[in-house]
């Protein structure tokens, strides 16, 4: 789960990547917390001045009191098309966050050759570092330069797609340092 500032607010790690989003949701702790009303979410209601409920999810998730998803079909009313359009804008935030994470922490785009438990720690650490870098004014623009995110081009009425992988070339080069860690550091990893 990602907030409007591209920061991860809930991460569930450890499910095989070939499992569908819906199956991941079915097995998640978050689902049980939502369904048992333990998260103290606001009661189902509309946003002020609209008839739109929140939060949003894509088509892989079930429609529930706390999860809204796009209207299916092609022949939709203008109101339903606007809702689906706004939902796609919200979903783009999540896609940007995952794209940035995968581009900046390239380990996540490979098969991680370690135990499943250590792999989970790597993923959680990457998410924490991502949030830290997005939180600090000094690092936010270095980590995610202005044009590294997909954005809406209002003049041309389209989405300006940015490739996060291209933004990895904008890393600041760092001076190489010794690669041999201390025994204490190696013990921590093991």
Statement: residue 106 has pLDDT above 80 = yes
Task: Tell me the C-alpha distance between 56 and 71, whole Å.
Answer: 12
Tens digits of residue pLDDT in 49-101: 666 555 556 666 677 776 777 888 889 999 988 888 888 888 888 888 998 99
pTM: 0.68
175 CB contacts (<8 Å, ≥6 apart)? Answer: none
Sign of the CA dihedral 11, 12, 14, 18?
A: negative
Q: Does 111 map to a domain? A: yes
Sign of the CA dihedral 7, 10, 16, 22?
A: negative
Q: What is the pLDDT of residue 171?
A: 45
Statement: residue 174 has pLDDT above 50 = no
Q: Does 185 map to a domain? A: no
Task: Give one DSSP letter per residue of 173-184, joined into a string.
Answer: P------PPPHH
Task: Tell me the C-alpha distance between 1 and 103, whole Å.
Answer: 18
Statement: residue 114 has pLDDT above 60 = yes
Q: Does 183 map to a domain? A: no
CB 58 within 8 A of CB 18: no
φ, ψ for residue 52, nearest 5 deg: -105, 130
Q: What is the pLDDT of residue 154?
A: 62
Q: Does 104 map to a domain? A: yes
- Domain limits for position 86: 2-9+16-171
Domain count, the chain: 1
Statement: residue 141 has pLDDT above 60 = yes
């Amino acid at each position: 789960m990602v907030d409007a500032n591209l920061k991860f607010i809930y991460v569930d790690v450890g499910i095989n990547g070939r499992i569908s989003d819906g199956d991941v949701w079915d097995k998640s702790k978050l689902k049980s917390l939502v369904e048992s009303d333990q998260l103290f979410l606001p009661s189902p209601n509309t946003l002020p001045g609209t008839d739109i409920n929140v939060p949003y999810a894509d088509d892989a998730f079930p429609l529930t009191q706390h999860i809204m998803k796009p209207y299916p079909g092609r022949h939709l009313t203008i109101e339903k098309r606007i809702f689906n359009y706004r939902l796609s804008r919200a979903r783009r935030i999540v896609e940007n966050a995952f794209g940035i994470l995968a581009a900046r922490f390239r380990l996540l785009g490979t098969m991680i050759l370690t135990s499943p438990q250590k792999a989970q720690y790597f993923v959680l650490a990457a998410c924490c570092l991502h949030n830290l870098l997005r939180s600090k004014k000094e690092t936010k623009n270095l980590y995610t330069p202005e044009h590294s995110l997909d954005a809406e081009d209002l003049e041309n009425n389209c989405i300006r797609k940015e490739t996060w992988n291209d933004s990895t070339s904008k890393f600041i080069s760092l001076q190489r340092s010794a690669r041999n860690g201390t025994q204490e550091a190696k013990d921590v990893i093991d």
